Amino acid sequence: AVPSQSTMDHFRRIMAELDAVPPSGTTRLLAASQLMLRRAKPRSMIVLLSDLLDVDEQIFSSLGVLRQRGADVMVLQVMDPDELSFPFDGAVRFVDMEGDRQVQVDAPALRRSYLHEIDLFLRATEKRCQERDLRHVMVATDAPFVRVLHDAWMPSQLRRSL
């Protein structure tokens, strides 16, 4: 946790803290959300960075409770552009980055149903966020992350100052 402030230096400090954390282990979002429910103060800013592919309803419920308590909750859904457009041709092998699963598919045969399922998933995610007054921001992995976070953060700071 970084003590709250509303300055650009504070934003830079948060970016430096995030940059210093190496990725490791498995994600435990439910435990983290329960910890936030115990610790977050009413004017806290909560930022969830995830592809949300394996996030269950309990996570969204916890985030909704935090929002009801006055926290500013931002959900940054991070996805690779290829996950959104499925530009693959021929036989393609996909390797699970968080596990040891692999699957080989005929990309053209799968494209239409894959894109349909991704569209349904993204719409459902947006709806879950809207129902709980959570700010949902799609983030492509090829976008400059600091710029994305800055642009997503600034409306929050403006809203607080009104």
Task: Select from 31, 67, 69 the least CA-distant residue to 47.
Answer: 67
Provide the pLDDT for residue 158.
46
H or E element, residue 51: none
Q: What does the CA dihedral 140, 145, 149, 152 come to, rounded to 10 degrees?
A: -30
Which segments of 90-148 are extended strands (E)? 91-95, 102-106, 135-140
pTM comes to: 0.79
What is the tens place of the pLDDT at every residue in 91-136? Answer: 999 888 777 789 999 999 999 999 999 999 999 999 999 999 999 9
Question: How many distinct helices (H) and strands (E) make up the chain?
Answer: 6, 5
